[in-house]
Amino acid sequence: MNTTVEELLNKKGRQTYAIQAKQTVYEAISEMAARNVGGLIVKEGDEVIGIITERDYTRKVILRGRSSKETPVADIMSRDLVIITPDRTLKEAMAIMTEKRCRHLPVFKDGRLDGMLSIGDLVKEIIANQEFQLQLLEDYIQSR
């Protein structure tokens, strides 16, 4: 699995969705639902300052009895971004996600946000690669 993050982004697209830190958690969850994603980049103006995920919501709002309509994103977001660069492989991306226990991996190129990978993106691509390899083996065996 030598596919790079860059190659996967070229396939799936570089679209990222963001929310401002001062907006409410309710607005963030609504945006995630509208976009069918599990995480949003958090910004202050144009600067990336963190990420908010469904996991942040369940653990830091629901379980703590907070109100999603009153709690600002800045209060519950993850500030320590786990990131990757486009030149890394999908195997490295999966290792990072596993080690850091995260499901979303912002991709930064030259210090700027270049895209976002989810665990689902990686699993889908890994399965596609495995199916391709199996087909090659079947073709090889049948040609002998």
Which residue shows structure tokens 């889908």? 124
Domain annotation for the chain: domains and CATH numbers: 5-143 (3.10.580.10)
Which residues partner with 112 through β-bridges? 109
79-104: per-residue pLDDT in tens?
Answer: 999 999 999 999 999 999 999 999 99
46-79: per-residue pLDDT in tens?
Answer: 999 999 999 999 999 988 888 999 999 999 999 9
Q: Which two tokens stand for residue 99?
A: 């080690």
Q: What is the pLDDT of residue 1?
A: 56
Q: Which of 109, 83, 91, 84 is nearest to 3 (CA)?
A: 91
How many angstroms from the chain centroid is the CA of residue 101? 12
